[in-house]
Chains A and B, each alone.
Chain A
Amino acid sequence: MTAIPRDTEPDATAVPAPSDESVPTKPSVSVTSPEPPPQPHASADPGPIGLWVEELTVSFDGFKALDHVTLILNKGELRCIIGPNGAGKTTLMDCITGKTKPDEGHVFMESRALDLTELSEVQVAELGVCRKFQRPTVFPQHTVYENCELALKVKGGRGVFRTLFARLDKADRARIDEVLETIGLADLRSTPAGLLAHGHKQWLEIGMLLAMDPKVLLIDEPVAGMTQPEMERTAELVQKLAGERTVVVVEHDMEFVRSIARKVTVLHEGRILAEGPMAEIQRDPRVIEVYLGT
């Protein structure tokens, strides 16, 4: 099971049959626990792993928000996760960033030595996993520039006393300018972020993630409430982000997903319903059923 989803080749058989009492990912349970499983590198597919979510299970008062979800992303991959409301998309994000502790399962980055589920949000962020929230959250009373400054990855770290005496050096300033240029907000650098238009706030937040120089980016509904041109610009931005970084985008807007997606994972009721290229996913009868109703 572990080898299948990371195939970049379209592979419809990767989708386990639902309505079966056996959990889709069950076969790998015996393999994953305590001993390390066969390295995915062993399979034909090249490239190192960027993010590895393994058998993640979360339940809230008996309701399974996530049910043995396994996802493997190559380094630099851009993956879209879609699914109807309540499919567990946000919970999945919460688990990866350390906000919610899963009942079972693990999340790894490049190596299996470090399980992100055992770390706090801050530690996860320090490792280079950054998240963009569904609602744009910027610091409203800080200027656009200050928002980027706060997010900027700095050499000394983010300790209290370092921060007290922190100064921006030339390289830092250049980096912030570069980020502002990329997100197209250079002219608004001294505007308080709370005064920005909705779309600009979304870009600022993406810019803040850029400034953090992350390894893994989790982006939650980046185009909600955006106009068409804003959406196109966002698609450009998100595609620019992938390549060096592993990017996970959760989005409802099919138009947007189609414009950026190379590979799509469909979540439904806490399980992975389908995974593959967008064109194939759109033809999948089960996906159509979930999205259009019976």
Chain B
Amino acid sequence: MLERLTQFHGKRGWLIFGVLSLAVTVLIPVLNGLPKSFPLSVPDSMIPLMGKFLCFGMAAIAMDLIWGYTGILSLGHSLFFALGGYAMGMYLMRSIAGEGVYRSNLPDFMVFLDWKVLPWYWHGFQSFWFAMAMVVVVPGLLAFVFGWFAFRSRIKGVYLSIVTQALTYAAMLLFFQNATGFGGNNGLTDFKRLLGYSLQAHATKRALYIATAIALVATYLIARFVVTSKLGRVLRAVRDAELKTRFCGYESTRYKTFVWTLSAVLCALAGALYVPQVGIINPSEMQPSNSIELAIWAAVGGRGTLIGPLIGALFLNGAKSFLTAAFPSAWLYVLGGIFVLVTLFLPRGILGLGAFRRLRRAAASPAEATLSPVVGSAPAPSEAAVPAVAVTAAAGGEVPAP
């Protein structure tokens, strides 16, 4: 058991992990509780914003499982995110039945549309636990069925990306319809209480932030467990040489479906935590740009590292919040510019930078080089390939093939 834990991280890694986890789950809420005059105090307005970022961080880790480790670029993860959000939104709407603008037992938008009875698929959502089950079950089931058929048909690479994008787009159009029964264009909003606590109260916001931080830490640990298991090694094998993996006797379809479904469920949980903190869920959450942004977070941070996409999500969203306030028109150029720069100069993302520096240091002092001397005598397959693999080796061998 202990040995398994050391596979997660080395001693230093666990230390960093512990410090960061405590900082995000305990320190920030404590700082927020300090009086406003205190220099390090975190203002109340920051708490929901940071909670939102942490939700994006969860989604980015989920994305890394499927893209960084398994090599499947999904452009459908905003769908799973939104489905989780909608399930949470439905609970928030139903739990305040009778307190809406129209004092009706139905959600306001249904009264507005002159609906008399609750659609069948809204039943049960007045219960928090039922709604939480649906947060997992609906996106999980959709991902499982979609993944099973897509992977069984050996749909790969850019084709799979397009199919996932199309699925998300179709779902968006469906949710835009009033007749679908999820509030159409406006989505679900005007939430009041979660489990009886007012969403307007700051204490609730802080509790939601803490819940999100804990969920993020848990997501990271689950993902870490998966990628350091033998299954994780099979996933990377599928990414690098799927046919060979099949000849080794691993049914790659099942492995891909498993990680796809897991990734979708983690993403949906992030969506469910996101909705009460931003106060609205509508179909624009499923628009293509959202899925693409999710991929950009992972690429900028560094795929196949778990921590990289998390950093990417926090960094880019922080920059987005700041820049869209300071220079509203500049943000898209900045995002595009960052993406181009990372693609050209940092194929391993921000985390690849550290690995590269380590390699330079190793090259400067050959005695410290970690690579086996035999490697040096080996005939280089090609000039370009060797440095790329060498960087990988220095990074711990968990970076996807170029």
Residues of A with Cβ closer than 8 Å to B?
97, 121-122, 125-126, 130-131, 133, 137-143, 146, 149-151, 158-160, 163-167, 187-188, 190-192, 194-198, 200, 208, 212
Contacts and interface: CB of A to CB of B under 8 A. Distances in A.
A164 B230 contact: yes
A191 B373 CA distance: 10
B230 A166 contact: yes
B388 to A, nearest CB: 9
Contact of B374 (A146, A149, A163, A187): A187
Nearest to A121: B246
Contacts of A191: 371-372, 374-375
Contacts of B381: 198
Contacts of A200: 378
Contact of B231 (A97, A121, A139, A163): A163
14 contacts: A138-B241, A140-B240, A141-B399, A150-B234, A158-B248, A163-B230, A163-B250, A164-B231, A191-B372, A191-B375, A195-B390, A197-B379, A198-B379, A200-B378
A212 B397 contact: no
Nearest to A140: B240
A212 B392 contact: no
A16 to B, nearest CB: 33
Given A194-B389, A212-B249, A139 B229 contact: no
A150 B226 CA distance: 15
Contact of A141 (B229, B255, B377, B401): B401
Among A121, A131, A165, A194, the one with the most B-chain Cβ atoms within 10 Å of its Cβ is A194
A70 B392 CA distance: 47
Interface in B219-246: 226, 229-231, 233-234, 236-237, 240-241, 243-246
Given A122-B246, A160-B255, A187-B372, 15 more contacts: A137-B243, A137-B244, A139-B237, A141-B401, A142-B233, A142-B240, A151-B248, A160-B254, A166-B229, A191-B374, A191-B375, A195-B371, A195-B389, A197-B379, A208-B248
B247 A192 contact: no
Contacts of B234: 150, 163
A141 B236 contact: yes
Interface residues of B, number: 42
Contacts, number: 117
Main secondary structure of the interface of B (DSSP, over half): helix
Contact of B375 (A130, A158, A160, A195): A195
Nearest to A128: B249
Main secondary structure of the interface of A (DSSP, over half): mixed
Contacts of B374: 187-188, 191, 197
B248 A195 contact: no
A208 B372 CA distance: 21
Contacts of B393: 192, 195
Among B4, B231, B234, B248, the one with the most A-chain Cβ atoms within 10 Å of its Cβ is B248
B372 A133 contact: no
Contacts of A197: 374, 377-379
Interface in B364-402: 371-372, 374-375, 377-379, 381, 385-386, 389-390, 392-393, 397-401
Contacts of B389: 140-141, 192, 194-195
B258 interface: yes
B251 interface: yes
A17 to B, nearest CB: 37
B378 to A, nearest CB: 4
Nearest to B370: A190
Among B241, B399, B401, the one with the most A-chain Cβ atoms within 10 Å of its Cβ is B241
Contacts of B243: 121, 137
